[in-house]
Structure 1
Amino acid sequence: MQIRFSHLKDKLARSSIFPLLVSGDEPYQSMLACDMFRARAKDLGFSERKILTVETGFDWSELQHEQNNMSLFGERTLIDLRIVNGKPGATGSKAIINFIENLHEDVMLLVQVPRLDRSGINSAWVKAIEKIGGVLRVWPLNEIETRNWIQQKLRAKGLTATSDVVGYITQQVEGNLLAAMQEIEKIALVSEDKNLDLKSVHTLLTNSSHYSLNELMDVVLKGDVARVIRIIAGLKKEDVAPPLLLWGLTEQVRKLVESKPNTSSNISESNSKIRKNTQQDTLRSLCMLHQKSTGVCRQDLASKTSDLLKQCARVDRVIKGRAYGDPWQELLQLSIATRYSV
Structure 2
Amino acid sequence: MKISYDALEKHIKESKSGPKNFYLVMGDEILLNIDAVDRLREFCRKHEYSERISMVLDSNGPWDDVLTHLQTNTLFAENKILEISIPSGKFGRKGGPTLAKLAEYIKEQNPEDICVIISCPKLDKKTQQTKWFTSVVNIATLIDIPNLKRKDLPAWARKLIKQNGQTIDDDALTLLIDRIEGNIVAAKQEINKLALLAGSETNLTLDMVRSSVADSARYDVFQLTEAMMLGNIPRSLKIFHGLIQEGANIIQILAMVTREIRILYRVMQGKVNAEALPSILSSMGVFPSFHQRYLSAVNRFNMPKVMGLLQHATDIDQISKGYPIDGRLKSPISEMERLIIKTAGNGLL
Query: Is TM-score (shorter-chain normalized) higher than 0.5?
Result: yes
Matched-pair identity in %: 20
Cα offset, 1:110, TM superposition? 1.0
Residue 40, structure 1, aligned to residue 43, structure 2: yes
Residue 134, structure 1, aligned to residue 141, structure 2: yes
| Alignment partner, residue 72 of structure 2 | 69
| Alignment partner, residue 261 of structure 1 | none
| Alignment partner, residue 183 of structure 2 | 176
Distance 1:227-1:96 versus aligned 2 partners, 3 A rule: closer
Cα offset, 1:212, TM superposition? 4.5
- Verify the 8 A CA contact 1:86 1:115 in the aligned structure 2: yes
Give the 3-state SS of the residue equivalent to 1:52 in structure 2: strand
Cα offset, 1:20, TM superposition? 1.0
Distance 1:183-1:338 versus aligned 2 partners, 3 A rule: closer
After the TM superposition, which residues 161-200 of structure 1 pair with which residues of structure 2 at under 5 Å, given as runs? 161-191=168-198, 194-200=202-208
Q: Distance in 1 between matches of 2:239 and 2:84?
A: 37
Q: Distance in 2 between matches of 1:198 and 1:117?
A: 41
- Verify the 8 A CA contact 2:81 2:117 in the aligned structure 1: yes
- Corresponding pairs, count: 276
| Deviations 1:138-192 (CA, angstroms, capped at 9, x unpaired) | 1123444321221232233344422111122223334433321101112222346
After the TM superposition, which residues 40-189 of structure 1 pair with which residues of structure 2 at under 5 Å, given as runs? 40-103=43-106, 104=109, 105=111, 106-189=113-196
> Any stretches of 5+ residues in structure 2 without a counterpart?
258-302, 339-348
- Verify the 8 A CA contact 1:54 1:272 in the aligned structure 2: no
One-letter amino acid of the structure 2 residue matched with residue 157 of structure 1: N
After the TM superposition, which residues 147-296 of structure 1 pair with which residues of structure 2 at under 5 Å, given as runs? 147-191=154-198, 194-207=202-215, 209=217, 211-212=219-220, 235=242, 242=245, 244-245=247-248, 247-248=249-250, 274-276=307-309, 280-281=313-314, 283=316
- Verify the 8 A CA contact 2:56 2:85 in the aligned structure 1: yes
Give the 3-state SS of the residue equivalent to 2:148 in structure 1: coil
Give the 3-state SS of the residue equivalent to 2:85 in structure 1: strand
- Verify the 8 A CA contact 2:84 2:119 in the aligned structure 1: yes
Distance 1:49-1:272 versus aligned 2 partners, 3 A rule: farther
Give the 3-state SS of the residue equivalent to 1:166 in structure 2: helix
Q: Distance in 1 between matches of 2:236 and 2:92?
A: 44
Cα offset, 1:204, TM superposition? 2.4
Give the 3-state SS of the residue equivalent to 1:274 in structure 2: helix
Q: Distance in 1 between matches of 2:93 and 2:236?
A: 48
Q: Distance in 2 between matches of 1:30 and 1:159?
A: 25
- Verify the 8 A CA contact 2:60 2:92 in the aligned structure 1: no
Q: Distance in 2 between matches of 1:75 and 1:94?
A: 28
Distance 1:38-1:198 versus aligned 2 partners, 3 A rule: same
| Deviations 1:18-56 (CA, angstroms, capped at 9, x unpaired) | 311111111232222212222222333322111111125
Q: Mean Cα displacement is larger for which, 41-50 or 23-32?
A: 41-50
Distance 1:76-1:272 versus aligned 2 partners, 3 A rule: farther
Q: Distance in 1 between matches of 2:47 and 2:75?
A: 18
| Deviations 1:247-272 (CA, angstroms, capped at 9, x unpaired) | 439977xx9xxxxxxxxxxxxxx999
Q: Distance in 2 between matches of 1:124 and 1:172?
A: 44
Give the 3-state SS of the residue equivalent to 2:49 in structure 1: coil
Give the 3-state SS of the residue equivalent to 2:247 in structure 1: helix
| Alignment partner, residue 322 of structure 1 | none
- Verify the 8 A CA contact 2:59 2:90 in the aligned structure 1: no
Higher-Rg structure is 1
Give the 3-state SS of the residue equivalent to 2:60 in structure 1: coil
Residue 24, structure 1, aligned to residue 27, structure 2: yes
One-letter amino acid of the structure 2 residue matched with residue 148 of structure 1: A
- Verify the 8 A CA contact 1:190 1:241 in the aligned structure 2: no
| Alignment partner, residue 4 of structure 1 | 4
Q: Distance in 2 between matches of 1:157 and 1:7?
A: 19
One-letter amino acid of the structure 2 residue matched with residue 73 of structure 1: F
Give the 3-state SS of the residue equivalent to 2:309 in structure 1: coil
Q: Distance in 1 between matches of 2:176 and 2:41?
A: 31
| Deviations 1:282-339 (CA, angstroms, capped at 9, x unpaired) | 858x9xxxxxxxxx994x96xx62xx59xxxxxxxxxxxxxxxxxxxxxxxxx67986
Q: Distance in 1 between matches of 2:187 and 2:252?
A: 19
Distance 1:278-1:40 versus aligned 2 partners, 3 A rule: closer
By relative contact order (CA 8 Å, sep 6+), the higher-ranking structure is 1
One-letter amino acid of the structure 1 residue matched with residue 148 of structure 2: L
TM-score (structure 2 length as normaliser): 0.63
